[in-house]
Structure 1
Amino acid sequence: MKGKKRILVAPLNWGLGHATRCIPIIRALLAHNFEVVLASDGIALQLLKKEFPDLEALELPSYNIAYAKNAKLFKWKLLKDSPKVLKAIKAEKKAIKGIIDTYNITGIISDNRLGLHNKNVPCVFISHQLQVLSGSTTWLSTKMHQKIMQQFDVCWVPDNLGEPNLSGKLGHVDVPELPKKYLGPLSRFHKKDTEITTDLLVILSGPEPQRTFLEVKLLEELKAFKGSIVFVKGIIEEVQTKLQKDHMTIYNFMTSDLLEQTLNESALVLSRSGYTTIMDLAKLEKKAFFIPTPGQFEQEYLAKRLDVLGIVPSCKQEDFTIDKLQAVATSSGLKHFDYDVNYKRLFGLF
């Protein structure tokens, strides 16, 4: 249809969280009569194509971010990879000019893709990290990140402005020179009143090799679990596979609809403490146990914060044993915040 404004939505391909939290934004754009063009790379792009098969989808330069095998070397691996990331950002900046012209783009929503801005169209940056934790270099990583965010017109923070909130000190920093809007937690899921049929749902995600390390550990450790388990590996492939192994049903991945249903039907969720996962579980008011990705300061902070608050227990990957799950009994679980986003006003930028 002529006359519709066309918005480019482009999440970073680092695990699946950036892509999945863009899903409610994409749905809202479509509901408000915008056209949407998707853009990413790797599994993030594959996931969005599966969710929105009718939308135009473009491949962007890859950041090629990989985790160090040794968690202690995580930060130095990122530093070592920084020339690759800078090269990808440069390639993004170059690519976006052509994309705007070719696809008649009237606005850009970038979820942590640092080079996707252009002075000719309104540009939004989605991030819950106004402060970027990196241990002793937090001040530097934060300063660098804020400098990049200031090249966008506005930062959308997927969290509550006040208390209670989910991101803690990550998303609540005063940056006067950065225009920002708090959206409330974003989730593609809806809470349903369904019968609990699964005792434990395991959801794996995140970059390799740590995803595989955790998969191997949990498949062994959970053999002794008393009860039914659904195990989602978080590997996006052409075809969904399902394997029954004793008390465990193992999937390579789940589409949004099936995952929403399975989450609603599960008594307990075991997963990484990625921010998108936390937002999803809060929306569904779930009890959970977190194992943060080793060496990822952000996930370690979020897991520790929720553990200290008595909301979700957690432990380090190397320390996990099946007995640790008993701590869930005395935790409160995550709760949903009532936060209605005025999308009409939000999209007024475009």
Structure 2
Amino acid sequence: MIEKTEHKKILVAPLNWGLGHATRCIPVIEALIRYDFEPILAGDGTSLDLLKQEFPGLRHYELPSTEVEYAKNGGLLKYKILSQAPKFMRAVSLEKKKTLEIHKKEKLSGIISDNRFGVRLKEVPSIYITHQLQVLSGATSFLSTALHEQIIGKFKECWIPDDASKGLAGKLSSPSRKTDFYKYIGPLSRFTHHEMRKEWDLLAVLSGPEPQRRMLEEKLKEQLRWYEGKSMIVRGIVEKHQKTTIEGKTTMVNYMLHRELRDTIERSRLIISRSGYSSIMDLFTLEAKAFFIPTPGQYEQEYLAAYLKDMRYADFCSQESFQLKKLNGSTMYKGFKHKKTSKNNLERSLFDVFS
């Protein structure tokens, strides 16, 4: 009689600040399944809800909430986040306790944490995923980078979803020192590119925390009243059931799972998006043409939008100044056209750390 071999269990835990951390974990989870590991999901809020819908057959655990409250005034964002520091520290402490509880129950062989500081154990190989090795926070960037480096150093390895040179993240993905601890794994996207016939003139894909997500939605709906083309807004609100409505000439969808969203992006001539890094990786993979509107007060998104404009990939403007006429300049930018192969097929050797 042949004994059944048990798969090694790997806990995958994305941060719940918008959906980007969860979406870029999708190709990691798919690779774990492909290489005969058993992924176990952990998280909170809409990011965990999304992964549960994408992988309904996987077990999951709730972690303490790390959802950040954003200011309506982007200029006050840094101070709003700093005021929540005690809450974050408590959440990290609770994360550590919950991770240990999960390990005692599941006998984990590894942990993959996407920006969750407390999801790690000394006795289990713990991996940290981030593109943000340089943490931009204005005048305090040096301090925020040093603090993040300290946190990253508590893990066994750091996986960077970018290329080592001329990457999508610019200076953000450059460590202060080059060591084997840092591994560049290429851009991570849940998508694969397939050319499709264009049906939508304009697609807005919203993401990120409230109230800024809602404020951008309201701005876009107001502007799209005057738009003559065929437009759609994917609101980025994950609910139990998908809902589609028509407002004026614009189709509104509360959310899409990744295959439907991929096809909709492929069928769209221009995509309006936040310049969050996970969104950028998705649009890059699909070779889409984009226009970016950074989340107000997020130094990282403002930097990335400006960097990609300098690279002639895409134009951008602030949320406050957005008007439909701003899109006219997009014809001067090449979009994410490239000859790089997709890195969705992560190599088996990457996971040897769990052997």
TM bracket, shorter-chain basis: over 0.9
Is 1:30 aligned to residue 33 of structure 2? yes
Equivalent AA in structure 2 for residue 253 of structure 1: Y
Deviations 1:66-109 (A, max 9, x none): 11111111001111000000000011111111111101211000
CA shift, 1:225, in A, is: 1.2
Equivalent AA in structure 2 for residue 124 of structure 1: I
Structure 1 CA distance for aligned equivalents of residues 255 and 292 of structure 2: 19
Deviations 1:237-287 (A, max 9, x none): 111000123421110001111101101111110010000010000001111
Structure 1 CA distance for aligned equivalents of residues 188 and 24 of structure 2: 6
Q: Which residue of 2 aligns with 1:260?
A: 262
Task: Map residues 127-276 of structure 1 onto 2, 5 A cutoff.
Answer: 127-163=130-166, 165-176=167-178, 179-276=181-278
Structure 1: unaligned runs, 5 residues or longer: none
Q: Matched residue of 1:263: which SS? A: helix
Query: Residues 254 and 342 of structure 1: is their aligned pair in 2 closer, same or farther, counting only changes over 3 Å?
Result: closer
Structure 2: unaligned runs, 5 residues or longer: none
Stretches (4+) displaced over 3 A:
339-342
Q: Which residue of 2 aligns with 1:326?
A: 328
Structure 2 CA distance for aligned equivalents of residues 122 and 143 of structure 1: 23
Structure 2 CA distance for aligned equivalents of residues 177 and 98 of structure 1: 32
Q: Which residue of 2 aligns with 1:6?
A: 9
Q: Matched residue of 2:103: which SS? A: helix
Is 1:297 aligned to residue 299 of structure 2? yes
Q: Contact conserved, 1:64 with 1:84, CA < 8 A, in 2?
A: no
Equivalent AA in structure 2 for residue 315 of structure 1: C
Equivalent AA in structure 2 for residue 256 of structure 1: H
TM-score by length of 2: 0.96
Structure 2 CA distance for aligned equivalents of residues 343 and 124 of structure 1: 16
Structure 2 CA distance for aligned equivalents of residues 78 and 335 of structure 1: 36
Q: Contact conserved, 2:274 with 2:293, CA < 8 A, in 1?
A: yes
Q: Matched residue of 1:215: which SS? A: helix
Query: Residues 292 and 30 of structure 1: is their aligned pair in 2 closer, same or farther, counting only changes over 3 Å?
Result: same
Q: Which residue of 1 aligns with 2:315?
A: 313
Equivalent AA in structure 1 for residue 17 of structure 2: W
Structure 2 CA distance for aligned equivalents of residues 342 and 191 of structure 1: 16
Q: Matched residue of 1:230: which SS? A: strand
Structure 1 CA distance for aligned equivalents of residues 233 and 186 of structure 2: 29
CA shift, 1:176, in A, is: 4.5
Is 1:344 aligned to residue 344 of structure 2? no
Q: Contact conserved, 1:235 with 1:253, CA < 8 A, in 2?
A: yes
CA shift, 1:308, in A, is: 2.2
Equivalent AA in structure 1 for residue 274 of structure 2: R
Q: Which moved more, 1:18-27 or 1:67-76?
A: 67-76
Structure 2 CA distance for aligned equivalents of residues 37 and 281 of structure 1: 27
Equivalent AA in structure 1 for residue 55 of structure 2: F
Structure 1 CA distance for aligned equivalents of residues 175 and 348 of structure 2: 26
Equivalent AA in structure 2 for residue 304 of structure 1: A
Q: Contact conserved, 1:158 with 1:184, CA < 8 A, in 2?
A: yes
Q: Matched residue of 2:272: which SS? A: strand
Is 1:101 aligned to residue 104 of structure 2? yes
CA shift, 1:303, in A, is: 0.5
Structure 2 CA distance for aligned equivalents of residues 46 and 178 of structure 1: 34
Identity of aligned residues (%): 48
